Amino acid sequence: MVTPQTSPATAAPDRPRPVRRRRARSQALVFWLFVGPFAVGLLIFVYVPILWSLWLSFYDSQSTVTPTEFVGLRNYQDMLSSGPFRESLITFTLFAAFIVPLTFAASLGLALMVHRIRFAQAFFRSVFFLPTACSYVVASLIWKLSIFNGVRFGLANTVLEVFGQDPIPWLSVAQPPWYWFPIISVRLWLQVGFYMILFLAGLQRIPRELYEAAWVDGASPGWKTFRHITLPQLRNTSVAVLLLLFIAAYQAFDEFYNLLGNVVNYARTPLQQLYITALGASQDYGRGSAGAMILSLLIIFVTLFQGKLFGFGKPAE
Amino acid sequence: MATGNAFNRRLFLRGAGGLAAASALAACGGNTGREDSSSGSGKTISQWYHQYGEAGTQQAAQKYADAYKDAKINMQWVPGDYDNKISSGLLASDGPDVFEWHFNYQLAKSNQVVPLDDILGDAKSDYSEADLFSNSLDGKVYGIRMIDDPQLIFYRKSMLDKAGVAPPTTIDELIAATKALTTKDVKGLFIGNDGGVAWAANHVVPAAGHQYLTSDRKVDFNNDAVASAMLKVRELMATKGLLLGAPTEWWDPSAFNQGLCAITRQGLWAMPAVQKALGDDFGVIPTPSFGATGKPAIYLGGWSTFVSAKAKDVDAAKAFVKWLWIDNTEYQEDWALNYGFHIPPRKSLAAKAAKLQSGPAAETLKLTEQYGWVDDPAFTQTMRTTFTDAVTNIVQKNKDPKSELAGAASKVDAELKSLFG
C-alpha cells in the first residue's frame, strides 16, 4: 500500500503496474487463505510429530515423550537385531512381493474387461468400486464372523461340507497357514475396485488412433496391441498403482489386527509390531519411534528404487 | 496376563456391546448441573473406567461418583482400547486423576502413579497377600484392588456323564476327555479361538509348577517342565477336539451355553449368565496340573484403582479412593456381586458375600483360595509379548520348545537387566 504513494513519479509512466501489483498481492492472500490452514495443520500434526519421533528414537523413552537419557543408536540396534520386528519386515517384504503383482493383475484385468464392455458399463464400474467404500474393520468382521469362521456353519465351511470336506479353522491355526485365504481375499475385495478405477482412467486416455493405426499396419486386436500399445501407454498409471500398492502392503494393519489379533504372531504386520511396542502397557516410545523410522526409510527406499526402475514421471513415449 | 485377556474381552465388547452402550448413553450424565452447590470444596476429580460388559455397571459407577460429597467426580466410561487411552492419558495433562488398571513396574518406575500406603492404613490386613503383591513394588502399595476375577474351567455335567468322563484333573486326563467328548456337533474343549495360544501363555506355567519370574527376579520358565507342558498343549491341539473359530470368544459364555463345546475356559464373571442358561448342569475345576512337578492353578485377574501422579489435587484424589474403594464396603459389595460375579478383595466382604456361599460360586471361591495366583508386576508387558511369541512358535508352528524358551529367556533377562540393574 505504501510503495505507489511514496514514488508517484515512477508509478506515473507505467499506469497498470499498481493494479497488477495489487492483484498479485490479493492473489497471494487468497493463496495463503487456502493453503495456510492446511500447511499449518500439516506442520503441527505431521512434520512436528515426525521430527519428535526422530528425536525420541535416540533416547530411552520408556513411558515418557520428554526423555533425558540419550542412548545413541541402541533403539535401532534393538529393533533390527533378530526379533519380531525384523521378522515382520521380512514377512511383509514377501507379502508385498506376492500381493502387489496379484492386485495389479486383478485390477488391470478387471479394468480391461469393464472398459471393453458395451452395455451397463457404469453399473459394473460402480459395482466393482463399491467395496472401496467399505471400512476395513467392518469387512474384516464379516470375513471373520460369517464367511471364514471355524465352526461347521461358517459360509466357507458349509461349502466345504457340500464337497465332503472337514471344516477348517481358518484363522485359528498357524500350520497349515489357512489364515492367508481370508486375509488375501478381504484385501483383494477391498482394494481391487479402487485400482481398477485408476486403470480405467488411464485406458480412456489412450487415443483410439493408435489402435486404428496398428490395425492398418496389420496388428490384430488382442495380445499384440495390448503388449505394444496399451501397456506402454499405461506406464505412468501402472507405476503410480505399483507405488500405492507397495506402500499399502507395508502399512497393512486393519485387516490383520481384526482377523488375527495381536496375541498370536502368525503374521504380525510391522505396524502391529510398533503398536505393541509403543502403545498400551509397554509404552516404549524410543524403540517404537526407531521402528517407525526404519519402516519409513524402507518405504522411501522401495519407492525411489521403483520410480528409478520404471521411470516414474517421465513423459510417455 | 490380566491385560491381554481383559483387552480381548473389551475388543469383543466393542462390537457386541454397541447396543448396550447406546442405551447407556441416555444415562450418561457427567455434568448434570451439580457443579456449584452440592460439592462444597469446588474440586473436580476425573475418574476413568474401562467398559465393563455386565449390564448396569456404568450406572452403578455413576451412582458412586454422584454420592461423593467432598468433590465433584467426573466419571468417564471408556469404550474401546482402554490400555492405549490410559497410557496416552497418563502422558498428557488432561489424563485421569483416578483410574482403574493393572499394575506394572513401569507405572511406578516412571512415577506415573503415587503410593497409597497412607490411605490403606489398617485396612491393609484385610486384603490378601496376593492382591497386595500384585500392586506393590519395593514395599510400597500403588493400587487398591477393586475386584478379583478367577479364571478357571467350566464343564457340562450332562455331557461328561453321557461320555462316561470324570472331570479332568491332569493335562493327560484333559486330552483324553477332549477326545472322548468330541462328536460331530460338539467339540470337546474351548480354550480360545487362537487355538489356545493365550491360554498356554497365561495359564500353563503355574500349572506346571513354575512361575514367570522367581521372587528375586530371575527367569523361571526356561526349564524342562515348562517345555514338556507346552508339548502337551500341542498334543491337545492335535486331538482335533478343540473348538476353533467360534463366533464368540471364550470370555463370552455363548459358545458353552449353546452347546458348541463340553468344556471351556471361563471366568467367574460369566457364572450368572451360565446359570441362567444351563441351571445346575455345569461344574467348575481349576486349570489341570501339567507333569510330575505340576499342580492345579487358577489365575486371579481383576482390576485395581490408582491415583495419577499428575492429578490436579493428589490428596483430594486419594481421599476419594479411600472413601470409595477402602471405606465404603457397601458399594464395594454392590460392585463385586450385583452385576457379574467377582470376588470382593476384602477378606471380610468375601466371607459374608451370600451369592458366593453356595453352588459352583462357592466351589470357585474355595478353589481360588487353594490354587489362585496373581500377576507379578515385574513381568512387564514387553516380557509377556516375548513369552507369548515363543509359545505361539512352539504350539502353533511346531518349533523346538527348548530353544524357543531359551531365546525368550535371554530377551527377558536383557529386559530385567535394563529395568532392575
User: From the CA of A262, how many Å to the nearest CA of chain B?
Assistant: 9
> Which three cell numbers mark A150?
471355524
* Contacts with A277 from chain B: Cβ below 8 Å: 382
Portion of chain B with pLDDT greater than 70, in percent: 90
**Element (H or E) spanning B141, and its range?**
strand B140-141
Upstream peptide bond of A176 is cis (omega within 30 degrees of 0): yes
Strands (E) in B268-420, as ranges, are: 283-285, 298-307, 372-373
Domains B44-149+301-373 and B151-299+376-420 share a fold: yes
Looking up cell 489386527 gives: A257
| Residue A172: pLDDT over 90 | no
pLDDT tens readout for residues B87-102: 888 888 788 999 999 9
Q: Which CATH architecture has domain B44-149+301-373?
A: 3-Layer(aba) Sandwich (3.40)
- Determine the Cα–Cα distance for residues B335 and A155; give it in Å rounded to an integer: 41
**B151-299+376-420: CATH class:** alpha beta
Q: Which of residues 289-308 of A touch B (CB under 8 A)?
A: none
Identify the band that residue B37 occupies on the pLDDT scale cut at 50, 70 and 90: very low
CB B187 within 8 A of CB B262: yes
pLDDT of residue A266: 86
- Determine the Cα–Cα distance for residues A285 and A277; give it in Å rounded to an integer: 8
Mean pLDDT, range A3-16, rounded to an integer: 46
> Which three cell numbers mark A89?
519386515
Task: Tell me which residue in A154, A261, A284 faces B194 most closely, judged by beta carbons.
Answer: A261
Q: In chain A, what is the straight-line distance between the N-terminal and C-terminal CA atoms, in Å?
A: 50
Identify the band that residue A64 occupies on the pLDDT scale cut at 50, 70 and 90: confident
Check CB contact under 8 Å for B197 and A263.
Answer: yes
Identify the band that residue A283 occupies on the pLDDT scale cut at 50, 70 and 90: confident
Paired residues of B297 in beta bridges: B287
Check CB contact under 8 Å for B106 and A265.
Answer: no
Check CB contact under 8 Å for A264 and B197.
Answer: yes
- Determine the Cα–Cα distance for residues B247 and A36; give it in Å rounded to an integer: 49
pLDDT of residue A176: 85
pLDDT tens readout for residues B365-416: 999 999 999 999 999 888 999 999 999 999 999 999 999 999 999 999 998 9
User: From the CA of A141, how many Å to the nearest CA of chain B?
Assistant: 9
Portion of chain A with pLDDT greater than 70, in percent: 92
* Residue of B93, B120, B157 whose CA lies nearest to B310: B93
A232 touches chain B (CB under 8 A): no
A193 touches chain B (CB under 8 A): no
| Residue A8: pLDDT over 80 | no
Determine the residue type at A135. Answer: S
pLDDT of residue A314: 64
pLDDT of residue A303: 86
A148 touches chain B (CB under 8 A): yes
* Contacts with A171 from chain B: Cβ below 8 Å: 193, 245
Domain ranges of chain B: 44-149+301-373, 151-299+376-420
* Contacts with A172 from chain B: Cβ below 8 Å: 193-195, 244-245
* Contacts with B81 from chain A: Cβ below 8 Å: 280
pLDDT of residue B34: 40
User: From the CA of B86, how many Å to the nearest CA of chain A?
Assistant: 8
Task: Tell me which residue in A151, A265, A277 faces B389 most closely, judged by beta carbons.
Answer: A265
CB A247 within 8 A of CB B374: no
Q: ipTM value of the model?
A: 0.77
Identify the band that residue A19 occupies on the pLDDT scale cut at 50, 70 and 90: low
* Contacts with B201 from chain A: Cβ below 8 Å: 263
Check CB contact under 8 Å for B106 and A281.
Answer: yes
DSSP-assigned states of every residue in B90-117: HHSTTS-SEEEE---HHHHHTT-B---H
* Contacts with B4 from chain A: Cβ below 8 Å: 263
**A153 vs A296, residue with greater confidence:** A296
pLDDT tens readout for residues B293-327: 999 999 999 999 999 999 999 999 999 999 999 99
- Determine the Cα–Cα distance for residues B13 and B18; give it in Å rounded to an integer: 7
Residue B31 backbone zone (phi > 0: left; psi -120 to 50: alpha; other: beta): beta
Check CB contact under 8 Å for A64 and B84.
Answer: no
Check CB contact under 8 Å for B198 and A263.
Answer: yes
| Residue B345: pLDDT over 50 | yes
Pick among A161, A172, A262 to test the B interface (most B CBs inside 10 A): A172
| Residue B31: pLDDT over 60 | no
**Mean pLDDT rounded to a whole number for chain A:** 87
pLDDT tens readout for residues B111-130: 899 999 999 988 999 998 88
Identify the band that residue A3 occupies on the pLDDT scale cut at 50, 70 and 90: very low
pLDDT tens readout for residues B258-302: 999 999 999 999 999 999 999 999 999 999 999 999 999 999 999
* Contacts with B380 from chain A: Cβ below 8 Å: 281-282
Looking up cell 519380531 gives: A84
pLDDT of residue A26: 86
CB contacts < 8 Å between A and B, how many?
106
Check CB contact under 8 Å for A148 and B3.
Answer: no
Contacts (Cβ under 8 Å, ≥6 apart) of B210: B220, B221, B223, B225, B226, B293
Portion of chain B with pLDDT greater than 90, in percent: 71
Pick among B134, B385, B394 to test the A interface (most A CBs inside 10 A): B385
Task: Tell me which residue in B15, B245, B411 faces A172 most closely, judged by beta carbons.
Answer: B245
pLDDT of residue B16: 37
| Residue B35: pLDDT over 50 | no
CB B283 within 8 A of CB B357: no
User: From the CA of A140, how many Å to the nearest CA of chain B?
Assistant: 12
| Residue B21: pLDDT over 80 | no
pLDDT of residue B335: 94
Identify the band that residue B69 occupies on the pLDDT scale cut at 50, 70 and 90: very high
Check CB contact under 8 Å for A63 and B112.
Answer: yes
Residue B167 is given by DSSP the state P
| Residue B26: pLDDT over 60 | no
pLDDT of residue B28: 39
* Contacts with B8 from chain A: Cβ below 8 Å: 261, 263
Mean pLDDT, range A283-311, rounded to an integer: 89
pLDDT tens readout for residues A251-270: 999 999 999 988 888 888 99
| Residue B17: pLDDT over 60 | no
Task: Tell me which residue in B106, B197, B246 faces A62 most closely, judged by beta carbons.
Answer: B106
Portion of chain A with pLDDT greater than 90, in percent: 53
Identify the top-confidence range among A279-288, B15-24, B361-370. B361-370
| Residue B32: pLDDT over 60 | no
Task: Tell me which residue in B185, B195, B247 faces A172 most closely, judged by beta carbons.
Answer: B195
Mean pLDDT, range A265-286, rounded to an integer: 87
